[in-house]
């Protein structure tokens, strides 16, 4: 009897652990049942790659898995930071892998979606999509000449796969959401939207929830690929700045929470798509994927740099803290602490109830502050970023911003350690 209880408790503990996929589970709650550092002690190790680490790390059996924009997928020992294996693709890998059993799934900017042996990195199959691309538009963000098509430098993610049963689901720059047989990569169905899908599908009760840059948010039957409902976000036909779902949704208790570039955080009824409430952020994008914990929704904004906590039922504001720079990376919540990546090369730990700042980690690149991309306080130094009067000023500025070791990666919390990637090319283990 005692043994049975032990087995039951063991199973419960196992079930509560984060699954090795984006945001810790298929519903993308961003919750980690693990202790994380309440105070900053040290960087235990930093694992250097050849380019930006936008991908978020996931962990299975003491091994971390993540992608790098250097084109490799990495397996790294979580305790020591030593490389277990690396596997090259032919494009940046800013997506987060999912690991199920002994297989890792991830997409690359080379337009392929890969299944690899998680123990060795050996390729099991690859699926060819219609090709990857960044979101692009004429006169994007007000860049000139207005008739010129520009790619969006802030479209930095690729869709991270979610694995449910024997299927793997992911979005693509070709505008589709794909469902593949996870054993052999055979196409089960694909669902067409009107533009780039770089948000990651969340799954709950047989339905996939995801947004597209076509301004719509979709609910699709996971078995058949049939649309159940769609929700229309904001439009911006002139400079295309206030349009598109880049944020990945979280689904909790029958409610879908998702940010949008139209500057709203939306709560939608998962069954019908009916809007329950919205929090408007006055022109600031909501790129972060919200974390949902203890009846609260935690998210952050871009230009206004606000870290916010709202009531999950009503959207009523509980706490709002002023940050220093754009927040695109999604908060991870572990036992009362929210770990929030910031584009100025900092990781902030905040109290998940009040939003109060507990500690900050800053990359060397942020401290070095090449070209004074940041002010002395760590805010973006606008006059030094937009020095060019040419149309590509926004793209040039974004590259200067990213030179500070920007954190777009969503942190993983395990073993009193926060694991997070940076555009300085490192995956950090912070304790």
Of 115-123, 133-141, 193-201, 332-340: span binding other proteins (CB under 8 A): 115-123
Map the footprint of other proteins across residues 345-374, applying CB under 8 A.
368, 370
Return the H-helix or E-strand segment holding 83. strand 83-88
Q: Taking the complex as a whole, how short is the minimal distance between the CB of residue 100 and other proteins, in angstroms?
A: 17
Distance CA 181, CA 166 (A): 6
Q: 398 phi and psi, to 5 degrees?
A: -60, -40
- In the list 108, 343, 366, 426, the residue contacting other proteins (rule: CB under 8 A) is 426
CB of residue 29 to other proteins, shortest distance in Å: 32
**Sign (positive or negative) of CA dihedral 187, 64, 429, 40:** positive
Q: Which of 29, 49, 160, 200 binds other proteins (CB under 8 A)?
A: 49
* Beta carbon nearer to other proteins, 121 or 290: 121
Residues 6+ apart with CB under 8 A from 265: 257, 258, 259, 278, 279, 281, 286, 290, 297, 299, 308, 310, 315
- Asked if residue 82 binds other proteins (CB under 8 A), the reply is yes
Q: Does the footprint of other proteins cover residue 152 (CB under 8 A)?
A: no
- Which residues share a beta bridge with 204? 207
Whichever of 71 and 94 has its CB closer to other proteins, that residue is 71
Q: Which two tokens stand for residue 200?
A: 């990651």
Q: How far is CA 422 from CA 249, 327, 341, 349, 363, in A?
A: 23, 13, 9, 16, 8
Stretch that binds other proteins, among 120-128, 165-173, 189-197, 229-237 (CB under 8 A): 120-128
Q: Which stretch binds other proteins (CB under 8 A): 28-36, 122-130, 196-204, 319-327?
A: 122-130
Task: Give the Cα separation of 277 and 314 in Å (integer).
Answer: 7
Least CB distance to other proteins at residue 123 (A): 5
| Nearest approach, Cβ of residue 311 and other proteins (Å) | 41
Question: What are the Cα distances from residue 417, in Å, to 8, 105, 156, 159, 291?
Answer: 27, 24, 25, 25, 19
* Span interacting with other proteins, options 44-52, 201-209, 257-265, 309-317, rule CB under 8 A: 44-52
Contact characters 187-226, other proteins, x per CB under 8 A: ----------------------------------------
- Across 377-405, b (16+ Cβ under 10 Å) vs e yields ebebbeeebeeeeebbbbbebbebbbbbb
Query: Considering beta carbons, is residue 149 or 184 the nearer one to other proteins?
Result: 184
- Position 415 contacts other proteins (CB under 8 A): no
Q: How many CA atoms lie within 13 A of 287 on its CB side?
A: 25
| Binding residue for other proteins, selected from 29, 55, 63, 68, defined by CB under 8 A | 68
Backbone angles phi, psi at 172, to 5 degrees: -145, 155
Query: Which ranges of 151-307 does DSSP label H, i.e. alpha helix?
Result: none
Which of 33, 38, 79, 86 binds other proteins (CB under 8 A)? It is: 86
Interface with other proteins, residue 399, by CB under 8 A: no
User: Which residues make up the interface to other proteins (CB under 8 A)?
Assistant: 45, 48-52, 68, 70-72, 82-83, 86, 90, 117, 120, 122-126, 128, 368, 370, 424-426
């Amino acid at each position: 009897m005692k043994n049975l209880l032990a087995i039951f408790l063991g199973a419960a503990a196992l079930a509560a652990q984060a699954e090795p996929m984006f945001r810790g589970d298929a519903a993308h709650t961003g919750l980690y049942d693990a202790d994380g550092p309440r105070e900053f002690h040290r960087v235990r190790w930093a694992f250097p790659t050849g380019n930006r680490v936008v991908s978020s790390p996931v962990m299975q059996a003491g091994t971390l898995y993540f992608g790098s924009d250097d084109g490799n997928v990495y397996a790294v020992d979580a305790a020591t930071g030593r490389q277990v294996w690396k596997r090259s693709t032919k494009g940046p890998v800013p997506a987060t892998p999912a690991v199920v059993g002994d297989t890792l799934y991830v997409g690359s900017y080379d337009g392929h979606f890969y299944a690899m042996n998680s123990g060795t990195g050996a390729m099991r199959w690859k699926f060819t999509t219609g090709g990857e691309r960044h979101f692009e538009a004429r006169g994007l963000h007000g860049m000139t000449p207005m008739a010129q098509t520009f790619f969006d430098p802030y479209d930095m993610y690729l869709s991270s796969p979610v694995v449910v049963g024997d299927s793997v689901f992911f979005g693509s720059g070709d505008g589709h959401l794909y469902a593949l047989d996870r054993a052999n990569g055979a196409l089960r169905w694909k669902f067409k939207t009107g533009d780039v899908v770089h948000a990651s599908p969340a799954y709950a009760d047989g339905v996939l929830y995801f947004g597209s840059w076509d301004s719509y948010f979709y609910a699709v039957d996971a078995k058949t690929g049939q649309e159940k409902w769609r929700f229309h976000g904001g439009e911006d036909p002139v400079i295309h700045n206030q349009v598109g779902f880049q944020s990945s949704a979280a689904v909790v208790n029958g409610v879908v929470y998702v940010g949008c570039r139209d500057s709203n955080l939306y709560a939608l009824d998962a069954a019908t798509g009916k809007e329950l409430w919205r929090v408007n952020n006055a022109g600031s994008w909501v790129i972060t994927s919200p974390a949902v914990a203890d009846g609260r929704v935690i998210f952050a904004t871009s230009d206004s740099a606000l870290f916010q906590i709202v009531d999950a039922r009503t959207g009523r504001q509980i706490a709002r803290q002023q940050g220093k720079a754009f927040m695109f990376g999604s908060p991870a919540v572990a036992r009362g602490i929210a770990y929030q990546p910031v584009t100025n090369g900092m990781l902030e730990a905040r109290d998940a109830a009040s939003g109060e700042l507990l500690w900050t980690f800053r990359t060397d690149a942020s401290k070095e502050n090449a070209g004074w991309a940041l002010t002395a306080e760590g805010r973006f130094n606008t006059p030094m970023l937009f020095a060019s009067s040419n149309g590509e000023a926004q793209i040039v500025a974004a590259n200067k911003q990213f030179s500070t070791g920007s954190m777009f990666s969503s942190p993983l919390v395990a073993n009193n350690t926060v694991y997070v990637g940076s555009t300085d090319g490192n995956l950090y283990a912070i304790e």
